[in-house]
Structures are given as C-alpha cells and as structure tokens.
Amino acid sequence: MFDLFKNRRRRRLRAEPTPPRWLEILERNVPLYRRLEAEDQRELLGHMRVFLAEKHFEGCGGLEMTDEIRVTIAAQACILLLRRETNYYPRLITILVYPEAYVARSLQPVGGGVMMEGESVRLGEAWKEGVVVLSWDDVRRGASDPLDGHNVVLHEFAHQLDQQDGFADGVPILERRGQYVTWARVLGADYEQLRRDAELGRASVLDEYGATNPAEFFAVATECYFEKPEQLKLKHPALYEELRGFYQFDPLGLPPPPR
C-alpha cells in the first residue's frame, strides 16, 4: 500500500509544470541539459521534481542553500537515471553541500592491522548511511566543462547506484543475473589494467583514482563514459558497452557541445 501511494505521488510530481527559474539555472549551469533530446529533457525534469521533493539538502561551512545549488546537483544526479526504471537512490536521504573543498577525518591502514587517523581534503563523498557530501565550487566546475572527464556529482551518485544493494564493490544492481559474469570480467580486467598503468606512470583516458578500488573504478568510469565517450569507446570498447547496457543511455548519440 505504501508503494502504491509513493508511486502515485511520484507520477503527480513528474507531471507538474517546471518552474521557469529551474530552466534558467539548467541553461546556465548544466550544458549537458541543452544537448539532450526534448523527450530526455522532459524525463529529466520529471525525475528532478521527484528527487528534490524526496531528498533533503543542507548547507555546511556557512553555505546558504539556494535553488541554484539544489537544481544544479539534482539535474546531474538524475542524468544517471534517464531511460530506465529507477527508485531514485532509495538509500539516499541527505545531500550536504560545502562552499568549497572541505577537510574530513580519515583512517589509513599502516600495516599489521593498525589504522592511522588523519585528515584529507575532499571534493565529495558518498556514505552508505544515506548521505552524499559535495563541494559546491567543484559541482559547478564539473558541470561547466562536460568534456574534461571530471564531474563530482556523476562520481558520487555512481557510488550511490553501486551501494544500492548495500555493498560498495563496483557492481550496481543489474537487470539480469547473466549480466554479472560479463560485468565482473570486463570491469575487472580494465580495473587491473588501470592499476598497472598507474603503477608504471602510463597515461589513461580513465583517471588513475579509479585504480584505488573497484568501487572507485566504477565511479571514475561513469564520469568518463558521460564526459569522454569517444575516447573511452576507442580505448576500452568492452567497458563502454557494459556501461551502455547498464545506463541504457548512449552519450555518443548527443550533439557535440558548443565551442
């Protein structure tokens, strides 16, 4: 019964008119929106209305929350949901937004089961406990250049898709059971290649941060898929096809961004 009411509410939200202010923000802050087909734009706006109604945004470090921040983040998060069934990041409750890169406590293994506590500067992170943390400066920077392969929102929300089954292992929930074998083979091989490239200092279309672990590899590959699709397909064709099968959205079909 709860799901019935939830789905009815979501249908109503998706059908509501889009505030003109949102369109102004999208035109200014999210160049990828302008490149979408009209049908995809309508779907994206509907997803955004649900997302913004269900997720709580909170400013941190003195940042005042605004429609510009919420809409810019929601648009990029919902691009990952286009053209497929979605439950709108069901584990996610809150998005915390800092004005710029922030310092967070971290634990690093030093051997023998010993962990060393320290601090690290971060642009964003995705917690399994229902929180995504983002730097607003880096959100804007990542959205404004759709070709650089770096987008903190796509990265952190790829983590949310990965963690939907409760595990941060680089394997999101796939449509069919048979897909898991090919996914593990292809992404596992390319992950190991990226690790070797990073160790030897060889350049890769994939950011070497993806060599950290399989979860980071999936998030980095997602950024690259949406922002450097031609290079990714050329260098990692099997990986490209796995991501295309998962996202069911082919960025190579989009018109090129205006120069």
What stretch(es) of the chain map to CATH 1.10.472.150? 1-162
Q: What is the pLDDT at residue 110? A: 39
**Which residue type occupies 101?**
A
Q: What is the pLDDT at residue 257? A: 67
What stretch(es) of the chain map to CATH 3.40.390.10? 169-259
C-alpha separations of 9 from 15, 39, 54, 227, 247 in Å: 10, 21, 11, 33, 25
The class of domain 169-259 in CATH terms is: alpha beta
Spatial separation of the C-alpha atoms in residues 216 and 132, rounded to whole Å: 15
- Give the pTM: 0.90
Q: Please name the fold of domain 1-162.
A: Cyclin A; domain 1 (1.10.472)
Q: What is the pLDDT at residue 145? A: 84
pLDDT in tens, the chain (259 residues): 657 889 999 999 999 999 999 999 999 999 999 999 999 999 999 999 999 999 999 999 999 999 999 999 999 999 999 999 999 999 999 999 999 876 666 545 434 554 445 456 566 677 767 899 999 999 999 998 887 889 999 999 999 999 999 999 999 999 999 899 999 999 999 999 999 999 999 999 999 999 999 999 999 999 999 999 999 999 999 999 999 999 999 999 888 766 5
Q: Kindly report the backbone phi and psi dihedral angles of residue 85, in degrees, each rounded to the nearest multiple of 5, phi listed first.
A: -65, 140
